[in-house]
Amino acid sequence: MFSPLDEELELGPGRLSPRLQESLARLGTWMPFPTAAREFGWFTGVALSEATARRQTEAAGAAAVDLHDAEVARLERDTPPAEAGPRLQQISADGAMVPLVKGEWAEVKTVAVGTVEATREADGAPAARTVDVSYFSRLTDSAAFGRLALAELHRRGTPTAGIVVAVLDGSVWLQVFVDLHRPDAVRILDFPHAVEHLSAAVQATLGIGAVETAAWLAEHAHALKTGDPDAVLAALGALPVHDATDPAAAALARDQALGYLAARRDQIDYARFQALGFPIGSGVVESANKLVVEARLKGAGMRWERAHVDPMLALRCLACNDRWDQAWPQIAAVLRTPARARSARRCAPRGLSAHQASRPALHPRPPRPPPAPRQPTTVDGRPSRRSWRHAFQPARRAADLAASWTARATTAKR
């Protein structure tokens, strides 16, 4: 039942106070539910079950998802100006697999956004460092993910940033994602990803673990990072695939790597990118996959219902983005809404206010019996013994009764 005092005290449904409810949700965001329930009991002295910890945390996460989706709808409807972005910003997106019930796996997509600062390597060479990184993750298809990421990118000022550098792997959906939010972004193929293609080709030709393979890869990876990418592509095409153990497989691996990198020639000019102070690696999103997704959703023995993944991701993003304190009051308000809604539904048919509806319901009183006939208050012009005065004078009434019994006893003796 909802009471105006509950709203004033910001009390939600259940037996936990607002502070305890928030504390339980925070613990459930960072650790498995059995551990969260145990630690909650140790710190607060309030014993509760794993099921309660799960239910309370997932309810808070569902509220966070609803709030985020409402914010995306507002941005699409009102198109307000974005926050001021930095001079140079990096965005990187990728996917990570999480285990679902019944042995299924599903891909969670994540985008990481950060501000790029100039720095130097240990040898004094110029380098770029991405700081102030924030994240957004969802278990959904690429089109829906691109739309839902709007809120975080708008908050980080991606539309207004001076230069946006999109460091990604070669997936098509990532290019579509960048086209949606910053079509003018500088696109860079993640350098370790490019080296993986070189490695696959040379291993198929010279052999896995061979000394010649390691030497070739080290030489041409360095050349790709610091020199002319066309020279590296030429060396890749000149691999002696006819000398391989399996010439056909080696030729296929070489052609695939060459076609992949040549199609992204503008994205592998790493020497020029570094000279401009751009990052060339997508390590920020790989770290995001571990921090936001895998650290909580990929523990030993964990299996998630699909409907519960996004609520947990929403809480993980708030915690990892250091925005928990800012977002929790809104989450708590959403959690209190069902109680207000139930109260409104109860009072609507009777035309009562929410305050009236919150008062305990009273059982109807039975009808009163008709009053007994009154005895006359005077007899022969004198007040009767049952006058109204006697009802309010108990001492006098008792004395009259005693005198009456005495008179009866005297008459009986006679």
Contacts with 224 (C-beta within 8 Å, 6 or more apart), sequence order: 191, 194, 195, 198, 232, 268, 270
User: What's the gap between Cα 65 and its chain centre?
Assistant: 6
Q: What is the pLDDT of residues 119-129, one digit of tens each?
A: 888 877 778 99
Compute the average pLDDT of residues 136-152: 98
pTM of the model: 0.79
Inform me whether the pLDDT recorded for 174 exceeds 90: yes
**Residue pair 114/131 in contact by the 8 Å Cβ criterion:** yes
Q: What is the pLDDT of residue 380?
A: 62
Tell me which residue has tokens 């370790």.
192
**CA atoms of 327 and 346, how far apart (whole Å):** 30
Going by C-alpha positions, the residue among 373, 375, 371, 398 that lies closest to residue 386 is 375
Ordered by where they begin, the domains of the chain are 4-79+323-347 (no CATH), 88-190+281-289 (3.30.420), 193-267 (no CATH)
Q: What is the pLDDT of residue 259?
A: 97
Inform me whether the pLDDT recorded for 7 exceeds 80: no
Q: What is the pLDDT of residues 72-84, one digit of tens each?
A: 999 999 999 999 9
Q: What is the pLDDT of residues 292-351, one digit of tens each?
A: 999 999 998 999 999 999 999 999 999 999 999 999 999 999 998 865 555 555 555 555
Inform me whether the pLDDT recorded for 404 exceeds 60: yes
Q: What is the pLDDT of residue 337?
A: 83
Compute the average pLDDT of residues 172-201: 97
Residue 106 Cα distances to 146, 176, 213, 310, angstroms: 17, 21, 35, 12
Q: What is the pLDDT of residue 119?
A: 87
The mean pLDDT of the chain is: 87
Q: One-letter amino acid identity for 241? A: V
Q: What percentage of residues in the chain have a pLDDT greater than 70? A: 79
Q: What is the Rg, in whole angstroms, of the alpha carbon atoms belonging to the chain?
A: 38
Inform me whether the pLDDT recorded for 362 exceeds 50: no
Geometric angle at alpha carbon 294, from 290 and 299, rounded to 5°:
135
Least confident of 112-121, 127-136, 367-376: 367-376
Inform me whether the pLDDT recorded for 93 exceeds 50: yes
**Residue pair 50/27 in contact by the 8 Å Cβ criterion:** no
Compute the average pLDDT of residues 246-275: 96
Q: What is the greatest pairwise CA distance in the chain?
A: 149
Inform me whether the pLDDT recorded for 237 exceeds 50: yes
Q: What percentage of residues in the chain have a pLDDT greater than 90? A: 73
**CA atoms of 17 and 21, how far apart (whole Å):** 6
